[in-house]
Chains A and B, each alone.
Chain A
């Protein structure tokens, strides 16, 4: 199942990874995947399939119960706090609803990492922040507070913040959830454009299939913590695997049942 490739070409390599919050309920089992440099890769699956957990494992948030995760040739579970923080400075993450700091303005949100991690003069920080905001089309909104932004604008500011230090890896946790069609299109195109412009690598965790299939290079499909399928967007669209087919085309019933497990219906109504 592992897509073999030369190590140096892969930014993230995951092999045989299992993870469980407690022993009885494994979240992920035997995950193998590689994320090549420069590509945009989607991790898809229905809610509760372990996608976000996988993302957090890559960020070194949790340690895998089994298996190894390498990011830029470093084993994440061997890093101490200091080294992990050093690695995270080269990662950006876009959270589901943006997670902007509500007590800071748009400008200060984007400048946050530069002020925390660098000694850049304020004039230079200003220039970089304006460039980042310009890239997401919100230079004019730099003085607003997060509470004054719409959902789509907040997501764009968060994107500018996540890319503030030109990360090698950008991770998106459900970037399309709860957006209107216009904002969704904007975010979708930005994911691709920013990845290519910054020369970084992106991982998009999502269940918005059609939006994601248009922009990604490769797809991994997770179901109940197991890697069920992977392939290019074309391969996923053409897949005859019933599970993948149901997911990609959004069918109500299939291997993932419409009905929550329940008693026989006629029994429930007292007909038998």
Chain B
């Protein structure tokens, strides 16, 4: 009734579906284990501080520079559009709201995924491939408590801070172009920004977004590393998957969060 090729294709679709659900289940279990074994990290905060340096502090350069450039581009493009309606003085609002609500959390999370997320995956994957995780397990030390959990919390803590730095740098970039280069009135740039940006609606929502992105990116990166086949190809494949999956997750989650947060506006 069906030809062989069709049956094989159908079977492959089924296998992929089952594999995906299985992996999602593993990932969920891994997430739960990470949370359950976080006690050590909080009893020994030095473990988290060390990871904060590697994930957070070392990501600052790329975040700050990108923020500045994105802000400067916003300054140019915003001015061009607003000028048409004679409302150049609203440039400050445009720059600040775009950054605080969307670009800050989203772009910094994308950069964080490719800078820190990929490094986390590669590091943990290599620790697994060189039997360091097995050695730890053999020494009666839980690798999830000792290696995974501190990195997770470091990622969750540094993400909103990096997003805030990105936005601050972006606002400064917009100011440089809008006020210093193009010559928009400095007073109206800042005062309109101050009156239009709402703490609860804009800033808190942006922070919530970046915390959610931080959880998603770090979780994906750590799981991919922990689950990577212990070979060179395995680790490189896992690193690629971290960047692809977490970028898609960021954009998808951003849509969902935006739909909930700003639908009434």
Contact = CB atoms under 8 A, between A and B. Distances in A.
B1 to A, nearest CB: 31
A59 B141 CA distance: 14
B131 to A, nearest CB: 4
Interface string A60-100: 01000000000000000000000001101101010111011
Contacts of A85: 140
A102 B140 contact: no
B130 A93 contact: no
Interface of B: 126-127, 130-132, 134-141, 146
Contacts of A99: 130-132, 134-135
Contact of B135 (A61, A93, A117): A93
Nearest to A82: B140
Chain A: interface residue count, which band?
10 to 19
Question: Majority SS of interface residues in chain B?
Answer: helix
23 contacts: A85-B140, A86-B140, A88-B138, A89-B139, A91-B138, A93-B135, A93-B138, A95-B135, A96-B131, A97-B130, A99-B130, A99-B131, A99-B134, A99-B135, A100-B132, A101-B127, A101-B132, A102-B132, A112-B139, A113-B140, A116-B141, A116-B146, A117-B141
B45 to A, nearest CB: 15
Contact of A95 (B127, B134, B141, B146): B134
Contacts of A102: 126-127, 130, 132
The 3 closest A-B pairs by CB, nearest first: A99-B131, A99-B135, A85-B140
B132 A89 contact: no
B132 A88 contact: no
B162 to A, nearest CB: 22
A113 B135 CA distance: 11
Contacts of B141: 112-113, 116-117
A92 to B, nearest CB: 8
Nearest to B135: A99
Nearest to A158: B135
Residue among A95, A102, A116 with max Cβ neighbours from chain B (10 Å): A116
B32 to A, nearest CB: 16
Residue among B130, B131, B138, B141 with max Cβ neighbours from chain A (10 Å): B138
A95 B132 CA distance: 9
A250 B138 CA distance: 33
Nearest to B50: A103
A142 B200 CA distance: 53
Given A89-B140, A113-B139, A113-B141, 8 more contacts: A93-B138, A95-B131, A97-B131, A100-B132, A101-B136, A102-B130, A113-B140, A117-B140
Contacts of A112: 139, 141
A93 B88 CA distance: 70
B133 to A, nearest CB: 9
Contact of B138 (A59, A96, A100): A59
Contacts of B137: 61
Residue among A91, A99, A102, A117 with max Cβ neighbours from chain B (10 Å): A99
Contacts of B131: 95-97, 99
Contacts of B146: 116
A11 to B, nearest CB: 17
A93 B137 CA distance: 10
Contacts of A117: 140-141
A101 B127 CA distance: 8
A62 B134 CA distance: 13
A113 B127 CA distance: 17
A236 to B, nearest CB: 29
A88 B139 contact: yes
Contacts of A93: 135, 138
Nearest to A96: B131
A124 to B, nearest CB: 19
A88 B135 contact: no
Residue among A59, A95, A96 with max Cβ neighbours from chain B (10 Å): A95
B222 to A, nearest CB: 16
A89 B142 CA distance: 12
Contacts of A88: 138-140
Contacts of A97: 130-131
A2 B69 CA distance: 75
Nearest to B133: A99
Contacts of B134: 95, 99
Nearest to B131: A99
A86 B141 CA distance: 10
B151 to A, nearest CB: 12
A49 B24 CA distance: 34
Interface in A89-135: 89, 91, 93, 95-97, 99-102, 112-113, 116-117
